[in-house]
Structure 1
Amino acid sequence: MAPSKPPSTHAQPTLAQLRALIAVVDAGGFGEAAAELNVSQSSLSEAVGKLEDLTDRPLLRRSARGTVPTPAGLRAVTHARAAVQAAGDVLLAAQDDGELSGVLRVSSFRSAATHLLPPVLVAFRRQHPAVTVRLLDGDRAGTGEHLVRSGQADLALIEGDSAADLRLTPLLLDDYLFIAPQSRGTQPVTVQELADSPLLLSPRGDACFQRIETYLGRLGIETSGATTFEQDSVTLGMVRHGLGITLMPRLALLPVPDGLVTLPLPEPLTRPLVVAALPWRAGLPLIRAFTAALVESLGAVPADQLTNPRSHVWH
């Protein structure tokens, strides 16, 4: 078989061709991508075909899972995302701070989206009515970081104090609490009680479970026998009826159902909440303004509402 000829050094892909490739990869098919972009499937196929002509190799292939990128397509789509993003950033960089417009994509896990983002969104919309903020699901561990790195999100609210290649802006420390039926009382929690109690925890794949597993491991407590639930409300209902205890971040508990007691853990456990962006995009006026709005909003929240380790009984 004759070797593939190198791509032309003169012809360059267009942004339309790159967007077509990205759309098909994200949608998993030409029909779905065409509907998403509101273009004909034939024009989308033509754009991808011209891009494949430039690279002189297939970038997509049909499979049982739909249309998927080839190894060359996987490498190409990474740079396609960066190129399309950079082209859009030219316009974002030229905006004045007081006249922002466009679409801002923010990834967030559920408890932050529920309790932290609403007041920020209200204030930000009032100040910048021409900006549309789209929220993306970032519940699974590592999802937010991936969305930012791949160019599918502009910002991500994530847990942790380190993420390679990302600019992190600290927001707050959210402490984990011990939750039990109200009948338990408010006496201090011991390591032995944690070891002896049935554990009801979040799904094993999420960041919360991983953090709790590491914490309990340091105390010599196994989580292999823990029962897991997708919904926090189900977990708390089980705890309320005496079927076990759980550990949750304070934000994830709000609003707390009746009949539960929350107490500090024997040794503190916190999760740092930060907002992440690509370093070379963090200074764009739109991204910088929303990050500042987050920091300003959380600075107005009394610290003891989020980090006070006092016990609470909820009636």
Structure 2
Amino acid sequence: MTDRTPAGPSLAQLRALIAVADCGGFGEAAAEYGVSQSTLSEAVAKLEALAGRPLLRRTPAGTVPTEAGHRALVHARAAVQAAADALLAAQEEGTLSGTLRVASFRSTATHLLPPVLAAFRARHPGVTVTLLDAEACGGGDQAVRAGRVDLSVIVADEVHDLRLTPLPHDEYLFVAPASRGTRPVTFDELSTGPLILPPYRDTCHQRVLRYLRERGVPLTGLTEVGQDSVTLSMVGHGLGVTVMPRLALLPLPPGLVALPLPEPLTRPLALAVLPQRAALPLIRAFTAAVVESVGRFRWPDDLGVGPERRPEPRPGVGPN
């Protein structure tokens, strides 16, 4: 019997589409991946011929996917990832190799992940772990979904399509000049401002604003600053106060005081991975190292704002 199944796209064609879409142009993708521009153009042209419609279009801002291209990219990324995962799935736990891409907030990369990375390297010297900035990746959860990273530290609430391993809940603290003293913080004090927060799109900005609005706290002044170190320097010079996660404050600069909010506010951190990839030996081994390290985690006492706490898993969210 003759097989009349139409020929499908090759992995090379799918990779070319992904590369050009991610880099924003054929020339940029060629330079990034060390191939000729004509090779990428030919691969994308053949893919568009198979699809029967354009998948990319050139604009003054660069080459971007068409609507059909956006739909195709979802499956192209999944297909390329699945092909690579076929080999990863065949690995044995004791002889793991390859590269693992992990995205993280700067604060969790500084204080939570180093013990994990050290333990994992000792057990699996053949694996290279690349640590990436979650914000630079377009958001950790989005980077996981798009296949740009293998795992990411994320804020776990409102994320339901990824497999999550809980990390410690990170408490938000009120930060002011040390001359303020250590008396309890009040909502009236939070309303008088000026309050310095990250830019509006930052999840911390939105979480703090929602916390204040739900409690009817009016804001008389709000300043947006992109760098935590700049924010803390401004607070130290009396230009305002801020609210930050505890991990982002360590170590607290001299001249500042960090105190609990009138009512607790936390960010529930978790390690996220695509559900279909959670059982891969490489990812399972890294997740196990995270679980083991979290079990020993103790809050550093640099801030002196409360007793050490164990991680608080969220109901219904557990390790792989």
Report the residue type matching 2:69 in the other structure: G
Match of 2:317 in 1: none
Rounded to whole Å, the distance in 2 between the matches of 1:139 and 1:225 is: 26
What is the CA distance between 1:141 and its match in structure 2?
Answer: 11
Query: Once the 2 structures are TM-superposed, how far is the Cα of residue 230 of structure 1 from its aligned partner?
Result: 0.8
Q: SS in structure 2 opposite 1:176?
A: strand
Q: CA deviation at 1:95?
A: 0.7
Q: Matches of 1:209 and 1:224 in 2, distance apart? A: 16
Q: Pick one of 135, 139, 146 that aligns with 1:143.
A: 139
* Shift in Å, 1:181: 0.9
1:212 deviates by 0.4
Deviation at 1:301, TM superposition (A): 2.1
**Inter-partner Cα distance in structure 2 for 1:39 and 1:129:** 30
Question: C-alpha deviations, 1:120-162, integer Å up to 9, x for none?
Answer: 2222222212212222221379711111111111111011334
Q: Deviations over 1:280-310 (max 9, x none)?
A: 1111111111112122222222257599852
Q: 1:208 to 1:220 in 2, by over 3 A?
A: same
- Label 1:102 to 1:184 Cα distance change in 2 as closer, same or farther (>3 A): same
Deviation, 1:119, is: 2.5
Partner of 1:84: 80
Q: 1:71 to 1:9 in 2, by over 3 A?
A: farther
SS at match of 1:243: coil
Structure 2 residue corresponding to 1:241, chosen from 232, 237, 240: 237
Amino acid at match of 1:30: F
In the other structure, the counterpart of 1:23 is 19
TM normalised by structure 1 equals: 0.91
Cα pair distance change 1:213/1:101, threshold 3 Å: same
Q: 1:289 aligns with which of 274, 282, 285?
A: 285
TM-superposed CA distance for 1:199, in Å, is 0.8
Q: Residue 223 and residue 120 in structure 1: after superposition, are their counterparts in 2 closer, same or farther (change >3 A)?
A: farther
Match of 2:98 in 1: 102
Report the Cα distance in structure 2 between the residues aligned to 1:117 and 1:240, rounded to whole angstroms: 29
After superposition, the Cα gap between the structure-2 partners of 1:241 and 1:69, relative to the gap in structure 1 and judged at 3 Å, is same
> Equivalent residue for 2:314?
none
Asked if structure 2 preserves the Cα contact closer than 8 Å seen for 1:157 and 1:273, the reply is: yes
Counterpart position of 1:164:
160
Is 1:54 aligned to residue 50 of structure 2? yes
**Where does structure 2 lack aligned partners over 5 or more consecutive residues?**
308-320
1:280 is aligned, of 276, 279, 287, to: 276
Instruction: Note if contact 2:103-2:132 (Cα within 8 Å) is conserved in structure 1.
Output: yes
TM-score, L = length of structure 2: 0.89
Residues 1:305 and 1:87: Cα distance change in structure 2 (over 3 Å) = farther
Residue matched to 1:207? 203
CA shift at 1:29, angstroms? 1.1
Shift of 1:77: 1.2
- Give per-residue Cα distances to partners, 1:156-182, cap 9 Å, x unaligned: 101133412111110111111111111
Structure 1 pair 300/155, CA: closer, same or farther in 2 (3 Å)? same
Query: 4+ runs of 1 displaced by more than 6 Å?
Result: none
Name the structure 2 match of 1:5. none
Q: Deviations over 1:13-50 (max 9, x none)?
A: 11111111111111111111122222221111111111
**Structure 2 residue matching 1:174: 3-state secondary structure:** strand
User: Within 5 Å, which residues of 2 pair with 1:193-272?
Assistant: 193-223=189-219, 225-272=221-268
In the alignment, the residues of structure 2 paired with residue 66 and residue 190 of structure 1 have an alpha-carbon distance, to the nearest angstrom, of: 50
Matched residues in 2 for 1:107 and 1:19: separation?
Answer: 22
Structure 1: distance between partners of 2:211 and 2:303: 18
Q: Which residue of 1 aligns with 2:114?
A: 118
For residues 182-210 of structure 1, the C-alpha deviation after alignment (integer angstroms, 9 at most, x for no partner) is 11111111111111232111211101111
Matched with 2:60 is 64
Offset of 1:224 from its aligned partner? 7.0
Question: CA 1:306 to 1:169, structure 2 compared with 1: closer, same or farther past 3 Å?
Answer: farther
Paired AA for residue 229 in structure 1? V
Deviates more, 1:284-293 or 1:115-124: 115-124
Letter in 1 for 2:38: S
